[in-house]
Amino acid sequence: IDYLNSTGIFTDDFLDYLGNLAFTGNVRAIPEGRIYFYNEPIMEITAPIIESQIVETLIINQANLQSVLATKAARCYWSAKGRPVVDFSLRRTHGIDAGMKAARCSYMAGFQSTSNLLAGKIYGIPVSGTMAHSYVTSFELEIDSFRAFAKSFPNSTILILDTYDTVLAAKKAVQIASEMETQGLRLRGVRLDSGDLINLSRIVRQTLDDAKLDYVIILASGGLDEFEIERLINANAPIDGFGVGTRMGISSDAPWLDMAYKLVRYDGRPVIKLSAGKTSLADEKQVFRLRDGHGKFRSDIIGLLNEPLPEPRAEALLKTFMEDGKLVRTLPSLNELRDRFQGDFSALKDRFKDLRSSYRYPVKLSSNLTKLQ
């Protein structure tokens, strides 16, 4: 308030009012971890207009970024077809907070772990990682770096192979694995971070198998996204897991959603915006989800708040989270959100997950909402 006063923009009466301001409204939202689709209202705030407008920027900031990141991560997770995917994005995200959100959202959307230790501490996400190229180059001999790393992490040694020559490094990894076996230990894996990943993974797999090291896994990283993972999987590349960084952490091909926060009802009357290309849907709403006989999502209907369910098995998605400024629903843990996502994702038919599909999940307006517009 002192800062606002220093700008000279606001009146003393207004600043005095802000000094006692608290949120007193109600919040309805689609619970986090649920899948939602285009045009659907994901949150509705009912409050005195000043309160609802003050929270606008924060709500869009939090919901937009995390929806984008979770969606990108879900696509990578789907493309991996059951192989583990690890978040490697922190160094390329747009700031520390974005990096934390990327770790959180990617884990919720199916990633196995993160290399972000702070996210592991704060969110309880499993952490994992491998050695760095700079670690290798800090040694005069590559194999000495492998030995030192295996000594430091005897139960989780994953060696990076592409610092100099991937094929030669694979042979050195075989030697390290042999040395570890004499100590009753096992090399956990190797990582490929550049080059022709299809061809190199086959050569490395053959090198390991020839040495009876079928238990050593191969991880791939380096500019991966859902399309590259799909390409590697379709080529039957012998890759057991993926580290995904930049393209997921910034959602490179779709870095934002066209998300808006619009007044839909004021002083008891429905409100609509008619700007070309930005027409809003008036009044308080509910989203109804319909399923088929197998429990799969069939379609969604956007209707008015107090409409009855369109059919007995339909589900109303928007739930009440706050009443009179107080939280009225227990917020789930991140692992519970992860399970919630898995439930929704498994109920979404595969044709809507296909990266190149022309199918669009059916979302329509109820007849009552259409008539009101």
- What span, in angstroms and rounded, lies between the C-alpha atoms of 363 and 17? 42
For the cut 90, the answer to whether the pLDDT of residue 254 exceeds it is yes
pLDDT band at residue 277 using 50, 70 and 90 as cut-offs = confident
Count of CB atoms situated within 10 Å of the CB of 184: 7
Angle at 139 between CA 134 and CA 144, to 5 degrees: 115
Quick one: average pLDDT of 363-367? 97
CA distance 100 to 91: 11
List Cβ neighbours of 280 (8 Å cut-off, separation of 6 or more).
260, 262, 264, 272, 273
Does 70 score more than 90 pLDDT?
Answer: yes
> What's the rounded Cα separation, in Å, for the pair 357 and 79?
13
Distance CA 177, CA 189 (A): 9
Mean pLDDT to the nearest integer, 46-57 = 96
- Tokens read off for 137: 């180059």
Token pair 């490929």 is at which residue?
192
Q: What local confidence, expressed as pLDDT, does residue 357 receive?
A: 87
Q: Given this model, what pLDDT does residue 106 score?
A: 98
Buried b (16+ CB within 10 A) or exposed e, 35-73: bbbeebbbebbbbeeebbeeeeeebeeebebbbbbbebb
Tell me what the mean pLDDT of segment 321-330 comes to: 97
pLDDT at position 312 is 92
Q: Does the pLDDT of residue 94 top 90, yes or no?
A: yes
Please indicate, yes or no, whether the overall pTM of this predicted structure exceeds 0.85. yes
pLDDT band of residue 278 (cuts 50, 70, 90) is confident
Residue 140 pLDDT = 97
The pair phi, psi for residue 87, each rounded to 5°, is: -80, 115
